[in-house]
Structure 1
Amino acid sequence: MTKEKYLLKEVISSFDFVGTLISCEPYGSGHINDTFLLEYKIRHMGVVPIILQKMNTNIFKQPIELMENILNVTAFLREKIIENNGDPERETLTVILNKQGLPFYKDSHNQYWRAYHFITCATGYDEVKCDEDFYQSALAFGKFQRLLADYPAQTLHETIPDFHNTKARFKVFKEAVEKDIYGRAKDVLTEIQFILEREDVANVLTDMQLPLRVTHNDTKLNNVLIDDKTHQGICVIDLDTVMPGLAINDFGDSIRFGASTGAEDEKDLSLIQCDMHLFEVYTKGFIEGCDGKLTDEEIKALPLGAKVMTFECGMRFLTDYLQGDTYFKIRYPEHNLDRCRTQLKLVDDMEKKWDTMNEIVSKHNK
């Protein structure tokens, strides 16, 4: 038995999974946690799937606090879903406790694991293939805001401190430029100047009095499960970065990722724009999903959320490039630089379309 299989056997035996284990295979396309799909055969019930994950403690350094967040938020969501006559088994994640009643297991190598019930007959898509999928993801993330509107956000732990503190990230960026430990700054002066000229973008949200809310902080399309039969967005997943934040940041991260006309690492910047049709599709769905739970000031600030999150992401890519590519995984030496350039191109395009973006938000703010 290999070391990995021996460890998996140890971890699996720490949970009270029901039935006979018939398969255990790596699962999904995530880059942070190691995920496995377990299948158990239960007499007269057929096959029951389980998701087992080894948590990445290099990124999430407080796994116990992280799981406390997830357990509390999903319990709150279950109550709200039941109140709305929904199906909590499909509309939120269900954490499986270990034999000691804990929402995680610490193995003999001091690694942390967790388990969820697998939500069947639903799919998470890695890219926007049609308007309806993007709209459904917007509805789902908006509903996530609506259901958690009464949750005391300040009681949540910060799973990654200052994750969307753009002002703090701007300071780190300037330090990376000044130190220039890999001698790369001379080749990216245009990108550096673009960011330095927009310090106001980095600071703008700290000067606004927007409500602190429970935020997801990784609102990509593939973090919403879409029902295979109804094609409706049914469940928001990947709750590792759920913590206190601003609703407009969740909106903005979705736009940055989903309304771009090209891939995040597209080399041909002429292909990169912020698609106003997709921007409107998402705006409509997000506002509908929130269903009146956002303040008027928050809704008016949605375009700003898109710009700030895109700017922040581009700045983070360039910071990582200057620091030697220590955070984001890369496939080639200039990967982070290509990623940075697409984000800065999107910021530039948003600035050109600023009036249009605000008109679209105003149109759906009824």
Structure 2
Amino acid sequence: MEHVTQKQRDEVVAHFKYKGILIDERPYGSGHINDTFLLTFEIAEMGQLKVILQRMNKEVFSNPVELMENIVGVTSYLRERIIENGGDPERETLNVIPTVDDKPYYLDSYGDYWRSYKFITDATSYDKVENPQHFYQSAVAFGNFQRLLADYPADTLHETIVGFHDTKARFATFKKVVEEDVMGRAASVKKEIQFVLDREDIADYFSDLQAKGEIPLRVTHNDTKLNNIMIDNKTGKGICVIDLDTVMPGLAMNDFGDSIRFGASTAAEDEQNLDKVSCSMDLFDLYAKGFIKGCAGKLTKKEINLMPMGAKTMTFECGMRFLTDYLQGDVYFKIHRDGHNLDRCRAQFKLVEDMEKKWYTMQDIVKKYSNS
């Protein structure tokens, strides 16, 4: 995508329902996908108002119109539930600012799609787990997201990235990529390839249960990292789930599992020293406690019991995706060094092995909270 020019931004700003005089605009946040700006408006006697303006990445999200339909549907519904519960809808969900012709997005003269949200004041999102309490709060907030959307008809949402967590389909793709071996790299990673092939049962597990109707389709976030929760600066509570681009039909266990993969690991996602990589049972315990509390009885007993499987599946899937990308020549994930995707893959597989060793502990932790 081309760099955003001032001229382009001026055109876009003129087409949203903003009030007051624009006094400041600057790039914002640490996201890798969309271009995000923070705008500050001066409104006569009322002081200043901040808004987020975002150019959507059309390479990643090929249908921005459907994506915004999802976001408007889910945030409008959340707004109603939050008001019913006596909460503050201005801070506890994203609020989409419409364009001058009342659309949730603006298509500019360059062919780019833009959207705007009210900025959530006095709250912070954290890129990594510096404080275990933040991790717990993110668990409660993502669980609460499940609770509030439990009755939303998941099948009415568009799939913004088709087959995003279809582990079975990703396994089939992986086998095909190994066979084609376009970069001639397969021979050097036989051990990693075998690791995946030995675990086909993980890839099939959830889709087989779904096919039998044993686990429900739910509205899921699909990117449940800590930095997608706004934490209130005063109370320290997780108040709002953000970055709803990947909200679509999915499985609650996968939302839980992705958080564990990312947040309960004792090392970075691309750690080269595998001795440092393990799944912290303290953090797993903390997150399971918060997530189950946040869901407040809205998940089935089976879904709760399958949470460890969600953690293993998401970590396995992610490692498999890194390995697939390595074999294809690093075309999807950005790399910062040779073999970067291979390092990422090995760290994920080490985490899977560690979970396998701690399997009964993980199951006991989840049972402890499901019965409380």
TM-score range, shorter chain: over 0.9
Deviation digits for residues 139-183 of structure 1 (CA, Å, limit 9, x no counterpart) = 000000000000000000000000000000001111111111011
Structure 1: how far apart are the matches of 2:46 and 2:343?
50
Aligned identity (percent) is 64
- Offset of residue 3 of structure 1: 7.0
Q: Report the AA paired with residue 240 of structure 2.
A: C
CA distance in 2, matches of 1:328, 1:219: 18
Which amino acid is the alignment partner of residue 362 of structure 2? M
The structure 2 residue matched to 1:289, chosen from 265, 285, 294, is 294
The RMSD of aligned alpha carbons is 0.8
Q: Distance in 1 between matches of 2:58 and 2:131?
A: 36
1:362 equivalent in alignment to 2:342: no
Residue number among 317, 330, 334 corresponding to 1:325 in the alignment? 330
Quick one: which amino acid aligns to residue 70 of structure 1? I
SS of match in other structure, 2:101: coil
Using structure 1 for the length normalisation, give the TM-score. 0.99
Which secondary structure state, in structure 1, belongs to the residue aligned with residue 54 of structure 2?
strand
- Cα deviation code 1:254-276 (max 9, x no counterpart): 00000000000111000000000
- 1:309-324 equivalences in 2 (<5 Å): 309-324=314-329
2: distance between equivalents of 1:340 and 1:77? Answer: 36
2:97 is aligned to: 96
Q: Deviations over 1:233-269 (max 9, x none)?
A: 0000000000000000000000000000000011100
Aligned match of 1:5: 6
1:224 counterpart = 2:229: yes
In structure 1, the residue matched to 2:349 is: 344
Per the alignment, residue 67 of structure 1 pairs with: 68
Unaligned runs of 5+ in 2: none
Q: What residue in structure 2 maps to residue 130 of structure 1?
A: 131
Task: Tell me which residue corresponds to 2:220.
Answer: 215
Which shows bigger deviation, 252-261 or 182-191?
Answer: 182-191
**Matched residue type, 1:319:** T
Q: How many Å apart are 1:333 and its aligned residue?
A: 1.8
Read off the aligned partner of 1:119 and give its amino acid letter. Answer: I
Q: Offset at 1:138?
A: 0.2
Of 284, 290, 293, which residue of structure 2 is paired with 1:279?
284
Q: State the AA in 2 paired with 1:268.
A: N
Query: CA–CA distance in 2 between the matches of 1:176 and 1:247?
Result: 29
Q: Secondary structure at the residue paired with 1:95?
A: coil
Could you tell me the TM-score, scaled by structure 2's length? 0.97
Structure 1 CA distance for aligned equivalents of residues 54 and 336 of structure 2: 24
What does residue 18 of structure 1 align with? 19
Residue 287 of structure 1 aligns with an amino acid whose one-letter code is I
1:169-188 equivalences in 2 (<5 Å): 169-188=170-189
Whole-angstrom distance in 2 between the partners of 1:230 and 1:137: 14
Please give the secondary structure, in 2, of the residue aligned with 1:188: helix
Equivalent positions of 1:21-40 (< 5 A) are 21-40=22-41
Secondary structure (helix, strand or coil) at the match of 2:246 reads: coil
- Write out aligned runs for 1:221-300 (5 A): 221-300=226-305
Distance 1:100 1:42 in 2: 22
State the match for 1:87 in structure 2.
Answer: 88
Q: Show the counterpart of 2:156.
A: 155
Counterpart amino acid of 1:170? Answer: F
The runs of at least 4 aligned residues of structure 1 exceeding 2 Å deviation read none
Q: Deviations over 1:258-316 (max 9, x none)?
A: 00000001110000000000000000000000000000000000000000000000000
Gaps of 5+ in 1: none
Amino acid at match of 2:278: Q
**Structural mapping, 1:134-145, within 5 Å:** 134-145=135-146
